[in-house]
Amino acid sequence: MSRPNEPTEHAPFRGFKGERVLMRIHIGESDRWHGQPLYHAIVELLRRRHFAGATVFRGILGFGAHATIHQAKLFRLSSDLPIVIECIETEEHIEAILPELDRMIGGGLVTLERARVILYRPDAPPAEGAHEGWTVDVTGDWQVPRPARD
């Protein structure tokens, strides 16, 4: 068994541009799954299922279905801060993992939305001219260059 920060056996790196699904999972920091933090168990599950990646964010303030405010306080040991896990994958990968997530998540929120991936690659020096496949204008909108018409 691998340690949490060691790589596991992964599928070879694959192209990841185009239409994908962004999944956001909103839970509480104190939520647990088999004795470990739920957010950690979810990230491990996504990794075992060869998802392209996942990121966990800890909120500083929030409330959910019960309208109880959760916030970080200096001298308080546990404040059940909001946690958001994000990952982007193919619709098929997301749909396949939803039943497992349903069993793991007691209370929370899971959202799905369409995302257009324009760049995804492991750390590597940028190739000369690599940016020529897409552009970002000053408004922040991305645009795919269109071939010139005759």
Model confidence over 86-135: pLDDT tens digits? 999 999 999 999 999 999 999 899 999 999 988 877 766 666 555 555 55
81 lies in which domain range? Answer: 18-121+133-143
pLDDT band at 2 (very low <50, low <70, confident <90, very high): very low
Distance from CA of residue 91 to its chain's centroid? 14
User: What is the predicted pLDDT for the residue at 13?
Assistant: 47
Residue 57 belongs to domain with CATH number: 3.30.70.120
pTM (global) more than 0.75:
no
Model confidence over 58-88: pLDDT tens digits? 987 777 777 777 777 765 555 678 999 999 9
Assess if residue 104 is contained within a domain: yes
Residue 64, CA atoms < 13 Å, CB-side half-sphere: 17
